[in-house]
Chains A and B, each alone.
Chain A
Amino acid sequence: MLVHTAFDRAEQAARHWATAGCPVVIHVDQNVPQATYGAFAKALSDVPQVLFSRRHRCEWGTWGLVAASQDAAELMLERFIDVRHVYLTSGSCLPLRPVDELIDYLNARPHTDFIESATTADVPWTVGGLDEERFTLFFPFSWRRNRFLFDRLVEVQRRLRVSRRIPRGLVPHMGSQWWCLTRHTLSAILTAPERRRRDRYFRRVWIPDESYFQTLARLYSRKIESRSLTLSKFDFQGKPHIFYDDHLQLLRRSDCFVARKIWPHADRLYRAFLSQSESEANLQEPRPGKIDRIFAKAVDRRTRGRAGLYMQSRFPNHGWENGVTAAPYSVFQGFAELFQDFVPWLARATGTQVHGHLFAAERAEFAGGQRVLNGALSDNAGLRDWNQKAFLTNLIWNTRGTRQCFQFGPRDSTDVMWHLVRDPNAQISVVSGAWAVPLFRSGGDFSALRAEAAALQKAEHQLLDQLRSPEAKARIRIWTMAEFIEAPMEPLQLIIDEIGQKEPRRLAEAPIMQDLAGFGRFLQDLKNQGMHPYLMGDFPVEPAPRPSASPARKPYLVKN
Chain B
Amino acid sequence: MGAWQSYRLRLQRKRWLIRALRKRRELRCVADRTDRIRPSDLIVFCTARNESVRLPWFLKYYRDMGVNHFIMVDNDSTDGSLDYLARQDDVSVWHTRGSYKRARFGMDWINWLLRRYGHGHWVLVVDPDELFLYPFCDSRPLRALTDWLDASSIKSFSAMLLDMYPKGPLDAQPYTAGQDPLEIASWFDAGNYSVTRNARFGNLWIQGGPRGRVFFPDQPERAPALNKVPLVKWDRRYAYVSSTHMLLPRGLNLVYDEWGGEKASGLLLHTKFLDTFNAKAEEELTRKQHYAGSTEYIAYADGIRDNPDLWCRWSEKYINWRQLEILGLMSKGNWA
Contact = CB atoms under 8 A, between A and B. Distances in A.
User: Are A and B part of the same complex?
Assistant: yes
Interface of A: 235-237, 239, 241-242, 244-246, 263, 265, 294-295, 297-299, 301-306, 309-317, 320-322, 370, 372-378, 380, 382-383, 386-387, 390-391, 394, 397-398
Interface centre among A237, A244, A386 (most CB of B within 10 A): A386
Given A375-B191, A380-B217, A386-B194, A312 B265 contact: yes
B204 A372 contact: no
A263 B147 contact: yes
A378 B256 CA distance: 26
B250 interface: no
A20 B125 CA distance: 48
A184 B159 CA distance: 55
Given A297-B336, A316-B258, A394-B191, A376 B315 contact: yes
B166 interface: no
Contacts of B206: 312
Interface stretch (B86-94, B271-279, B292-300, B324-332): B324-332
B118 interface: no
11 contacts: A236-B334, A246-B140, A303-B259, A312-B159, A313-B333, A314-B260, A372-B314, A374-B190, A378-B192, A383-B192, A394-B191
B328 A372 contact: no
A310 B160 CA distance: 13
A313 B263 contact: yes
Contacts of A305: 257, 260-262, 331
Contacts of A313: 158, 255-257, 262-265, 330-331, 333
A353 to B, nearest CB: 13
B120 interface: no
Q: Determine which residue in B197, B256, B328, B335 has the highest number of CB atoms from chain A within 10 A of its CB, and name it.
A: B328
Contacts of B221: 386
Contacts of B312: 372, 376
B204 A315 contact: yes
A263 B194 CA distance: 37
Nearest to A380: B217
B189 interface: yes
Nearest to B227: A312
A135 B40 CA distance: 39
A316 B195 CA distance: 11
Nearest to B219: A382
Interface in B190-239: 190-197, 204, 206-208, 210, 212-213, 216-221, 227
Contacts of B256: 312-315
A317 B191 contact: no
B263 A314 contact: yes
A386 B208 CA distance: 10
A314 B261 contact: yes
A320 B262 CA distance: 12
A312 B261 contact: no
A241 B151 CA distance: 10
Nearest to B218: A382
A298 B335 contact: yes
B196 to A, nearest CB: 7
A304 B260 contact: yes
A493 B322 CA distance: 41
B189 A375 contact: yes
A239 B336 CA distance: 13
A384 B196 CA distance: 14
Contact of B333 (A294, A302, A317, A390): A302
B101 interface: no
Given A312-B256, A313-B263, A376 B213 contact: yes
B24 interface: no
B8 interface: no
Nearest to A247: B336
Contact of A376 (B141, B191, B329, B330): B191
B331 A311 contact: yes
B140 A383 contact: no
B139 interface: yes
A378 to B, nearest CB: 5
B236 to A, nearest CB: 22
Q: Which of A246, A312, A377 has the most CB of B within 10 A?
A: A312
B324 to A, nearest CB: 11
Given A265-B144, A311-B328, A375-B192, A386 B220 contact: yes
B136 interface: yes
B196 A387 contact: yes
B112 to A, nearest CB: 28
B258 A244 contact: no
A376 B189 contact: yes
Nearest to A370: B313
B84 interface: no
Contacts of A320: 258-260
A387 B158 CA distance: 22
B260 A377 contact: no
Given A235-B334, A394-B193, A398-B190, 20 more contacts: A242-B148, A298-B332, A302-B334, A311-B329, A312-B330, A313-B158, A313-B265, A315-B195, A315-B256, A315-B258, A316-B260, A317-B259, A376-B189, A376-B312, A378-B192, A378-B213, A382-B220, A386-B221, A387-B220, A390-B194
A302 B148 CA distance: 15
Nearest to B263: A313
Residue among A265, A311, A380 with max Cβ neighbours from chain B (10 Å):
A311
B144 to A, nearest CB: 6
Nearest to B264: A313
B245 to A, nearest CB: 11
B167 interface: no
In this complex, which of A239, A315, A320, A321 has the most chain B Cβ atoms within 10 angstroms of its Cβ? A315
Contacts of A377: 191-192, 314
A241 B264 CA distance: 14
A312 B158 contact: yes
Given A235-B334, A244-B140, A301-B334, A376 B259 contact: no
Contacts of A309: 262, 328
A387 B257 CA distance: 20
Closest 10 CB pairs of A and B: A375-B191, A302-B334, A313-B265, A298-B336, A386-B220, A387-B194, A246-B139, A376-B189, A398-B191, A390-B194
A376 B336 contact: no
Contacts of A372: 213, 312-314
A65 B316 CA distance: 52
Contact of A383 (B220, B316, B329): B220
A238 to B, nearest CB: 11
B143 interface: yes
B140 A302 contact: no
B152 interface: yes
User: Counting chain A CB atoms within 10 Å of each CB, which of B160, B197, B217, B315 scores highest?
Assistant: B217
Q: Which of B139, B332, B334 lies at the interface centre, i.e. has the most chain A CB atoms within 10 A of its CB?
A: B334
B195 A376 contact: no
A71 B212 CA distance: 65
Contact of B204 (A312, A386, A397): A312
A398 to B, nearest CB: 4
A375 B259 contact: no
